[in-house]
């Protein structure tokens, strides 16, 4: 791709505004729960009902919870390991006789019977006759995604109450439970309250009836079972149209993490597609909470198993959210996949506490499908330590000239050096091929021994060592790459390099976390492995794009005044048009700040094209003479397409009044 030849600049001035913030502490975990308990784990707000079958049942929303309980005073906080030992049994349904329900897309109103059995109330006249003129205040909307947890039964006949209804006759204080056949009287107020009923749910009726069936004199399990095991209610969590989300039992326990640790799993959650079709997750917002700066986490990633989904993202210091866009991740129909939120911890004295998760259903873009689950959904709180993990250096940049069609030729050589902090166990390495796709059948060697075969996934080659190699602290080991050259034209060039620190899995043997890698930089592309030139000459060739292949047009805005604490302030608005398919492999901007001495008054710089974040910098150095920032996230522009882009930044409250901020597109370094 040829150089873009013009730099555009715009300035903004700032005024004043004020914000406030606060924090909430969580209780300590207690010991083991018993069947019938309400349970949760420390650091996560989701509450479950523990059934007699040893499974935990999910309350899909607060309205459902409050139909069974009047408050949260009985919730027992248990250790994460214990909570994870109880598999999810399904969703809790609305308690019988307490509310009327409907879904937002259908006006039909139902009375709820035991086990989630629904009965249409037939007409407004019948509703008034049964529940009074204020009957509409009893109606609760059930989200469409949870409606399949219920079963629609026969409509109510005129003057008929559903089983589970609490009743008393006008002029009498006696309260009855209608079980569908008998009107069972409560022997006392204590017996009524023992079954967790509320007098607010008792319907006064003008109909007459006679007490029948056994008197209720105390707690009876058949009257109170949120799990409703083996019935139509509490259906499997994967049922229904859309995507169900639940915290995985394998979510890592709370622990202390040393600074500089990479690829640290924070949160695991299960995503289940409904049986009627696959679900595509387009985007996901991950929220950070806890006492600590967002900059203590240098990068976040989403993984399925050992496979990274999309690019790494930084956490916005204002919203505390990392947005993963263009994921295009498919969950097959009726299947459950486990996604992991993985973090790199910044090096240095990091001592904050952090937890990561998904705040609500709208944080997941599932291509219009309904997203359901017990939100917010956070993993455990991780404490950071000022103790640093050891480091590992990946060194080596070499050039090779090879002929097309040759097999098992040497295409790379590099050294893995482990510093003096702790021994390192080399477990896997992942390389990105950013040039021509002329490589296949790659193998990793140490000396004369092949130690791993490359698995190709799109533009990546992953080498997983079945027998990991131990490198003692202060020592190094040399590795080579061999492979086949296929479908190459004269002067084609391929580049192999490591893009992210999570692509290096060298486990420290003292603290048990992946060592912090230092990647050698080559021409701004973080190239650490060799450039492979498939030519018939002895010189490496460089492909240069034709002039005019990429056109950049300035759209604005004009200089303007903005307030302090303003988010997403547009510094440059421009368009990019490509004459042919191109990949942008390095993005560079220059930021100018009149007050170059204050490095904390602008943050969350990002390049956004067609609504998608292409590059971002949560924190960066500011200087009046200009600061250059670069990002190696790869994104593409299709032939003859035009992308509308903006350079945006947040203005902090510490910005001096009447200062300016401006940005330039550093096109020579794209």
What is the tens place of the pLDDT at every residue in 453-507? Answer: 999 887 889 999 999 999 999 999 999 989 887 766 556 677 787 877 888 999 9
pLDDT at 320 over 60: yes
Where does the pLDDT of residue 166 fall: very low under 50, low under 70, confident under 90, or very high at 90 and above?
very high
Joined together, the tokens standing for residue 428 give 């896997």
How far apart are the C-alpha atoms of 213 and 210, rounded to whole Å? 10
Q: What is the pLDDT of residue 490?
A: 57
The pLDDT value given to residue 180: 87
Check if the beta carbon of residue 453 is closer than 8 Å to that of residue 408.
no
Which residue bears the tokens 């609490």?
166
Count of other CB atoms within 10 angstroms of residue 114: 21
pLDDT at 371 over 50: yes
The pLDDT value recorded for residue 241 is 60
Higher pLDDT, 329 or 581: 329
| Average pLDDT estimate for 605-611 | 91
Mean pLDDT along residues 220-235: 64
Vertex 494 angle, CA 489 and 496, to 5°:
160
Q: Are the C-beta atoms of 92 and 49 separated by less than 8 Å?
A: yes
Confidence of residue 525 (pLDDT cuts 50, 70, 90): very low
pLDDT at position 112 over 80:
yes
Angle of CA points 487, 489, 495, to nearest 5°: 80
Over range 387-411, report the average pLDDT: 80
User: With contact defined as beta carbons under 8 Å apart, do 653 and 565 qualify?
Assistant: yes
Structure tokens at 121: 């109330």
> How far is the C-alpha of 428 from the C-alpha of 503, rounded, in Å?
8
- Cα 515 to Cα 517: distance, rounded to the nearest angstrom: 6
- Please report how many Cα atoms fall inside a 13 Å half-sphere around the Cα of residue 322, on the Cβ side: 26
**Most distant CA atoms of the chain, gap in Å:** 104
Examine the pLDDT at 253 and tell me if it is beyond 90: yes
Tokens of 515: 């060592």
For residues 27-44, average pLDDT: 70
Residue 23 has pLDDT above 70, yes or no: no
Band (598; pLDDT cuts 50, 70, 90):
low
Q: Is 136 helix (H, G, I), strand (E, B) or coil?
A: helix
| Least-confidence region, from 225-229, 258-262, 289-293, 375-379 | 225-229
What is the average pLDDT across 96-111? 85
Mean pLDDT of 106-115: 86
User: What is the overall mean pLDDT for the chain?
Assistant: 80
- Both structure tokens of 501: 């620190």
- Cα–Cα distance, 570 to 646 (Å, whole number): 6
The residue with greater pLDDT, 6 or 94, is 94
Tokens of residue 525, six digits: 């592309």
Asked whether residue 631 carries a pLDDT value surpassing 90, the answer given is no
Listed range (28-32, 40-44, 453-457) with the worst mean pLDDT: 28-32
**pLDDT value, residue 599:** 61
Mean pLDDT of 197-216: 89
- 3 state SS of 155: coil
Give pLDDT, residue 126.
87
Could you tell me if residue 196 is left (phi over 0), alpha (psi between -120 and 50 degrees) or otherwise beta? left
Q: Would you state the pLDDT for residue 149?
A: 81
Between 620 and 380, residue with greater pLDDT: 380
Give percent of the chain with pLDDT exceeding 70.
85
What is the model's pLDDT at position 43? 66
Q: Is residue 565's pLDDT more than 70?
A: yes
CB atoms near residue 29 (< 10 Å): 19
- Among 34-43, 237-246, 339-348, 406-415, the range scoring the smallest mean pLDDT is 237-246
Reply yes or no on whether the pLDDT at 22 is more than 50. no
Question: Would the pLDDT of 55 be above 60?
Answer: yes
Strands (E), 581-659: 582-584, 587-593, 602-609, 612-617, 627-631, 635-637, 642-651
Can you spell out the DSSP letters for 625-637?
T-EEEEE---EEE
Nearest to 161 by CA among 149, 169, 151: 169
Q: What is the pLDDT of residue 556?
A: 80
Least confident residue range of 17-26, 101-110, 383-392, 498-507: 17-26
- DSSP β-ladder status, 100-103 and 75-78: unpaired
pLDDT of 31 above 70: no
pLDDT bucket at 4, cuts 50 / 70 / 90: very low
pTM score, two decimals? Answer: 0.52
**Tell me, what DSSP letter sits at residue 143?**
P
- What band does 312 get if pLDDT is binned at 50, 70 and 90? confident
Q: Measure the CA–CA gap between 599 and 61, rounded to whole angstroms.
A: 43
């Amino acid at each position: 791709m040829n150089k873009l030849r013009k730099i555009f600049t715009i300035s903004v001035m700032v005024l004043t505004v004020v914000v406030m913030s606060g924090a909430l502490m969580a209780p300590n975990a207690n010991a083991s729960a018993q069947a019938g308990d309400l349970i949760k784990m420390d650091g996560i707000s989701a509450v479950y009902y523990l059934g007699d079958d040893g499974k935990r049942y999910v309350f899909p929303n607060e309205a459902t919870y409050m139909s069974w309980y009047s408050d949260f005073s009985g919730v027992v906080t248990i250790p994460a390991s214990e909570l994870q030992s109880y598999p999810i049994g399904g969703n809790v349904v609305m308690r019988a006789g307490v509310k009327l329900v409907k879904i937002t897309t259908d006006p039909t109103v139902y009375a709820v019977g035991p086990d989630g059995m629904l009965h249409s109330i037939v007409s407004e006249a019948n509703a008034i006759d049964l529940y009074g003129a204020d009957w509409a205040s009893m109606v609760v909307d059930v989200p469409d995604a949870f409606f399949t947890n219920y079963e629609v039964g026969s409509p109510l006949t005129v003057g008929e109450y559903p089983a589970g209804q609490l009743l008393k006759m006008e002029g009498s204080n006696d309260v009855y439970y209608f079980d569908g056949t008998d009107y069972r009287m409560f022997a006392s107020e204590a017996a009524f309250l023992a079954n967790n009923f509320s007098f607010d749910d008792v319907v006064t009726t003008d109909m007459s009836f006679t007490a029948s069936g056994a008197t209720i004199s105390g707690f009876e399990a058949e009257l109170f079972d949120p799990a409703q095991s083996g019935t139509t209610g509490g259906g499997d969590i994967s049922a229904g149209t859309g995507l169900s989300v639940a915290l995985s039992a394998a979510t890592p326990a709370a622990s202390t993490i040393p600074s500089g640790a990479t690829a640290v799993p924070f949160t695991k959650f299960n995503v289940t597609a409904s049986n009627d079709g696959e679900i595509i997750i387009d985007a996901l917002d991950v929220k950070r909470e806890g006492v600590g700066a967002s900059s203590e986490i240098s990068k976040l990633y989403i993984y399925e198993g050992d496979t990274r989904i999309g690019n790494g993202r930084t956490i916005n210091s204002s919203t505390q959210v990392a947005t993963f866009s263009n994921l295009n991740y498919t969950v097959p129909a009726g299947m459950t996949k486990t996604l992991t939120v993985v973090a790199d911890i910044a090096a240095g004295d990091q001592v904050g506490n952090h937890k990561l998760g998904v705040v609500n259903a709208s944080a997941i873009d599932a291509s219009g499908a309904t997203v359901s689950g017990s939100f917010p959904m956070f993993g455990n709180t991780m404490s950071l330590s000022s103790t640093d993990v050891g480091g590992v250096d990946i060194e080596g940049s070499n050039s090779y000239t090879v002929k097309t069609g040759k097999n098992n030729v040497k295409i790379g050589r590099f050294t893995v050096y482990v510093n003096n902090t702790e021994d390192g166990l080399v477990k896997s390495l992942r390389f990105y091929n950013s040039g021509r796709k002329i490589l296949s059948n790659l193998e990793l060697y140490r000396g004369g021994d092949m130690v791993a075969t490359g698995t190709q996934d799109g533009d990546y080659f992953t080498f997983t060592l079945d027998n990991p190699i131990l490198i003692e602290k202060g020592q190094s080991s040399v590795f080579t790459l061999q492979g086949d050259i296929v479908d190459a034209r004269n002067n084609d060039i391929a580049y192999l390099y490591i893009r992210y620190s999570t692509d290096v899995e060298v486990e420290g043997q003292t603290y048990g976390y992946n060592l912090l890698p230092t990647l050698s930089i080559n021409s701004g592309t973080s190239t650490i492995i060799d450039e492979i030139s498939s030519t018939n000459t002895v010189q490496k060739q460089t492909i240069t794009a034709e002039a005019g292949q990429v056109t950049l047009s300035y759209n604005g805005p004009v200089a303007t005044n903005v307030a302090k604490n303003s988010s997403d302030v547009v510094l440059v608005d421009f368009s990019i048009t490509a004459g042919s398919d191109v990949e942008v492999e390095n993005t560079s901007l220059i930021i100018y700040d009149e007050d170059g001495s204050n490095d904390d008054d602008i943050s969350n710089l990002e390049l956004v094209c067609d609504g998608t974040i292409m590059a971002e910098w949560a924190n960066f150095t500011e200087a009046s003479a200009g600061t250059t920032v670069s990002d190696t996230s790869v994104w593409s522009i299709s032939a003859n397409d035009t992308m509308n882009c903006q350079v945006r930044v947040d203005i902090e409250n510490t910005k001096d009044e009447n200062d300016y901020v401006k940005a330039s597109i550093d096109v020579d370094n794209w």
